[in-house]
């Protein structure tokens, strides 16, 4: 059993100011997998003070010095690949294959991307007699979720390091093991004391004092829209910058063409990845109403091929993260049944043969209408809703008819048609035919948040813009 009872502050492992622990539950077994300490306002204050002190020197480092640190972090991260993969599976139930194929590698991707952007990023720009300077914003507070723990830690930490910021990280208390190991990686990489700090804890104990701390210049939060609103309220009195990546209810418009079957099957596979616990998951599939029965047959067959079970085995689907999440998903599946959607696959209860662990049946509903609860609420589980549309304009209208706007998907054989549909969807990312790109900005419209992560767009979140007028003599500028 893991015991991570210290925090990483100012380059050292330190005890919490007030001892208080929390058991971490393995969702596959419902048994205690480890124990962490829960921090409080005093621990946050110590970490912020360390970050503020370190900012004085770290903010003045050269591009080359920061590149060297990023490369050292990547090297240490690679050394701990196996440890990180095991931890992800233990803490949030990701199948070991997914941990090794995606959950851990994506952290390496963000480190490599940040280094690539940093090599050529323009921190200064001449505009006649005025110099435009982009400077690190200061101390950053990071609050990260449990569903893709390494992705969300590293996509914040890497650009912050690259731009000269210092930081305090609060990983999810539900899945805290990877955050602790990441702090060990930062220490082993020789990141200067105070540049990176880790305080474990929950939202009330650590998240609130971190987001309201007067010496934190930016708070970057990933999680539910409800929690994001609270973070923004806490941050408001100190007028700090707030960047948020929140919930989603992403549409997946399947075009009426010869690859419909392939598109439907790919959509089912996508929603089931990570047990549906992705904020950008394509949870609302829109298919031509005239081909609904064809879509049902394909989706049902695809769902039947998805194996559920021990994440350390060969199963494609592990458990969802917690009892709370399991109960929420069961309630929403029941609402789909009660409101008249056609249950194509899955349903309430655990899969057959599994009487322990927070396992959810791969569930597909068809003939879903926009007003149904499962069409509106973020489920965050392996549950797909299939809606019909009469024409593409209606599909776009239904797709945009949501309070969220994190992602949208278009699948079809005609690229020009897919591009046209993409241009009319109101979302921060629109993915055509399953494309991926770590340089593409990630973030949402509407209730899905503000700000952008990933690639060069992430750098700008961590930078202030200074205009130095009269930098060049007037005659030199002419």
Q: Is 155 a catalytic residue?
A: no
Residue 318: both structure tokens together: 């592990």
> Is 131:471 a contact under the CB 8 Å cutoff?
yes
Give the C-alpha separation, 249 to 81, whole Å. 32
Give the C-alpha separation, 66 to 191, whole Å. 10
Give the C-alpha separation, 145 to 67, whole Å. 27
Q: From 420, 432, 437, 436, select the one nearest 263 (Cα to Cα).
A: 432
**CB-hemisphere CA count at 13 Å for 453?**
24
DSSP 3-state of 425: coil
**DSSP per-residue string spanning 100-161:** IIIITHHHHHHHHHHHHHHHH--SEEEETTEEEEEEE--EEEEE--SSSHHHHHHHHHHHHH
DSSP 3-state of 320: coil
> Is 184:80 a contact under the CB 8 Å cutoff?
yes
Give the C-alpha separation, 90 to 80, whole Å. 15
Q: Is 245 a catalytic residue?
A: yes
Catalytic residue among 155, 279, 378, 453: 279
Which residue in the block uniquely carries the two structure tokens 């278009």?
A: 410
Q: Which residues pair with 44 in a beta bridge?
A: none
**3-state SS track over 439-459:** CCCECCCHHHEECCECHHHHH
Q: Which helix (H) or strand (E) holds 387?
A: strand 383-389
Give the phi and the psi of residue 176 in degrees, each rounded to 5: -95, -10
Catalytic residue among 90, 91, 245, 461: 245
Residues belonging to the chain: 478
Q: From 15, 450, 420, select the one nearest 235 (Cα to Cα).
A: 450
Catalytic positions:
245, 279
């Amino acid at each position: 059993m893991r015991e991570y009872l210290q925090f990483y502050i100012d380059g050292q492992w330190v005890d919490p100011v007030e001892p208080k622990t929390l058991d971490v539950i393995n969702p596959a077994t419902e048994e205690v997998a480890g124990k962490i300490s829960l921090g409080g306002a005093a621990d946050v204050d110590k970490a912020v003070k360390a970050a503020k002190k370190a900012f004085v020197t770290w903010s003045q480092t050269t591009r080359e010095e920061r590149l060297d640190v990023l490369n050292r972090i990547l090297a240490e991260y690679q050394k701990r690949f196996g440890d990180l993969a095991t931890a992800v599976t233990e803490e949030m139930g990701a199948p070991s294959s997914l941990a090794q194929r995606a959950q851990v590698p994506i952290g390496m991707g963000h480190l490599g991307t940040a280094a690539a952007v940093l090599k050529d990023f323009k921190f200064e720009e001449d505009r006649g007699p005025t110099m435009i300077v982009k400077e690190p914003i200061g101390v950053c507070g990071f609050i990260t979720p449990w569903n893709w723990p390494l992705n969300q830690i590293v996509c914040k930490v890497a650009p912050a390091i690259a731009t000269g910021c210092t930081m305090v990280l609060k990983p999810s208390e539900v899945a805290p093991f990877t955050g602790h190991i990441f702090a060990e990686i930062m220490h082993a990489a020789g990141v200067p004391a105070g540049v990176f700090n880790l305080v474990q804890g929950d939202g009330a104990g650590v998240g609130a004092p971190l987001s309201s701390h007067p010496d934190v210049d930016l708070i970057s939060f990933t999680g539910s829209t409800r929690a994001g609103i609270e973070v923004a309220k806490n941050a408001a009195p100190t007028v700090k910058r707030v960047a948020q990546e929140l919930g989603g209810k992403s549409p997946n418009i399947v075009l009426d063409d010869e690859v419909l079957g392939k598109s439907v099957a790919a959509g089912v596979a996508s929603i089931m990845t990570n047990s549906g616990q992705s904020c950008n998951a394509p949870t609302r599939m829109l298919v031509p109403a005239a081909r609904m029965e064809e879509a049902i047959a394909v989706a049902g067959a695809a769902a039947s091929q998805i194996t559920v079970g021990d994440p350390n085995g060969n199963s494609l689907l592990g458990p969802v993260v917690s009892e709370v999440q399991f109960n929420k998903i069961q309630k929403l599946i029941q609402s789909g049944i009660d409101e008249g959607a056609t249950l194509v696959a899955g349903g309430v209860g655990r899969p057959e043969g599994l009487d322990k662990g927070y396992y959810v049946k791969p569930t597909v509903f068809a003939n879903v209408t926009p007003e149904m609860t499962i069409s509106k609420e973020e489920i965050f589980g392996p549950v797909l809703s299939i809606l019909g549309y009469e024409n593409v304009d209606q599909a776009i209208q239904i797709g945009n008819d949501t309070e969220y706007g994190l992602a949208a998907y278009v699948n079809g054989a005609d690229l020009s048609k897919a591009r046209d549909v993409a241009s009319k969807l109101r979302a921060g990312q629109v993915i055509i035919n399953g494309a991926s790109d770590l340089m593409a900005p990630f973030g949402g419209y509407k209730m899905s948040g503000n700000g952008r992560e990933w690639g060069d767009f992430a750098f700008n979140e961590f930078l202030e813009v200074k205009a130095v007028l009269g930098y060049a003599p007037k005659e030199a500028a002419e």
